[in-house]
Amino acid sequence: MSTSTIDQLRDAELSYRTTLVGGAVGAFLLIALLGLLFPSSIWASLLGIITSRSTLSSALRLSVPITFAALGGIFAEKSGVINIGLEGLLIISAFTAVITTAVIGPGTVIFTVPVVGVSLTAIWIGFFAGILVSVLFSAIFAVVCIRYKADQIIAGLAVWLIALGLAPFVSTVYYGGVNTENLGTSLGTWAIPVLSEIPFFGALFSAGPAVYMMLVAVPASWFILNRTAFGRHIRASGENPKALDTVGVDVSRVRYAGALLSGFLSGIGGSALSLGLGQFIGTNQTMVNGKGFIAIVAYLFGNYNPLGAFGASFLFAGLDAVQIRLQQVQGYTLPDSLIQTIPYITVIVILAFVGRTYIPSAAGEHYDSGEDNR
């Protein structure tokens, strides 16, 4: 890209962030003003919900699967592989995590003492099993797309549909229904002394382990993409694979790495989703319920920036947490089905006003390197 093009992209991204932050702050100030002026109105109830510690805690927890899937999607698409199978990766990892924990739980031995019931060790084994299966699905997806040059959109849809059918099917065979039994326990909460007692922001220091992983993974992903040689290779593979090939870097290998990272990160999100609840729900669209597709919107919304993708994920999750609490407010006649649409409508409106997303130039395009031709 030329210097002028890079400058234009930077200016556009700065304008994008300014609009996003300005819009969020403006919306909050408007709600706060209306809530203070009309203390008996729904605006006062909304202000109370937004500023409550439980809402922040719920928003962080709901952000986890979306954020991890979005980070995975960024690595894949930045490398030139469009992975719209994120929804399927979340489903299969969520199911695998629960069923693995349930199967090995009662047999776990700690210091030669057999543990009766599901132990924390079994839960963590299930957590990593979910990640492993998600990576395996991603590996198959990568081979089909990179080695055999299949259409990436169709392959991604296939991953989603296979997972959507396979997980409830295995659950039915094993449990007799599409929903697994409840493990009776979850990943638990890690509370940091003193800091967890802080009003409102204390929710940041009293959360599940997956939330802490997310808060580390977001800046780490940004650093890897923007400050390391591997990140430069990922970005070059999606923007100009020929140039990358010219300097002797194997484009296919970089793209495999991007696709596998999408499976690894989505696996964390899926395992955290089901083990946070202690159960896999396979009804209808499963408990994942479109979070993989929302993750795609989140990283597009964040313009392929991990920090922006997290902001978008947190925005959606925060709105989701607010609408859940709004349904519990007495005295208002708004239908629940209408309140449930608030996150989706808000995101669509913001997407319409924020601006355009710059998709990697070679995303979705197959590339034959010199090495492949020999």
Over the range 313-344, which residues count as b (16 or more CB within 10 Å of their CB) and which as e?
bbbbbbbbbbbbbbeeeeeeeeeeeebeeebb
From start to end of 101-171, where are the E strands?
A: 109-110, 113-114
Q: Give the pLDDT of residue 108.
A: 53
Q: Give the pLDDT of residue 8.
A: 60
Indicate the Cα dihedral angle 14, 364, 63, 134, nearest 10°: -150
- Of 12, 335, 347, 54, residue with least CA distance to 207: 54
- Of 57, 276, 51, 72, residue with least CA distance to 185: 276
Where in the chain are the domains? 68-302
Q: Give the pLDDT of residue 236.
A: 94
Asked if 125 contacts 187 with a C-beta cutoff of 8 angstroms, the reply is: no
Q: Give the pLDDT of residue 13.
A: 60
Tally of residues, the chain: 374
Over the range 211-231, which residues count as b (16 or more CB within 10 Å of their CB) and which as e?
bebbbebbeebbebbeeeeeb
Q: Give the pLDDT of residue 9.
A: 59
Mean pLDDT per segment of 10 residues, for the chain of length 374 residues? 57 63 73 78 78 89 96 96 95 95 69 60 92 97 94 95 95 92 82 87 90 96 96 94 91 96 97 92 89 90 90 88 78 67 71 70 82 47
* Cα–Cα distance measured from residue 186 to residue 189, given in angstroms and rounded to the nearest whole number: 9
Helix (H) / strand (E) element for 162: namely: helix 152-175
Task: Report the predicted TM-score, pTM, of the whole model to 2 decimal places.
Answer: 0.87
Q: Give the pLDDT of residue 373.
A: 46
Q: Give the pLDDT of residue 7.
A: 61
135-182 pLDDT per residue, tens: 999 999 999 999 999 999 999 999 999 999 999 999 999 999 999 988
* Cα–Cα distance measured from residue 17 to residue 301, given in angstroms and rounded to the nearest whole number: 10
* Cα–Cα distance measured from residue 266 to residue 261, given in angstroms and rounded to the nearest whole number: 8
Q: Give the pLDDT of residue 4.
A: 58
Asked if 69 contacts 84 with a C-beta cutoff of 8 angstroms, the reply is: no
Query: What DSSP state is assigned to residue 361?
Result: T
Q: Give the pLDDT of residue 210.
A: 94
Asked if 321 contacts 55 with a C-beta cutoff of 8 angstroms, the reply is: yes
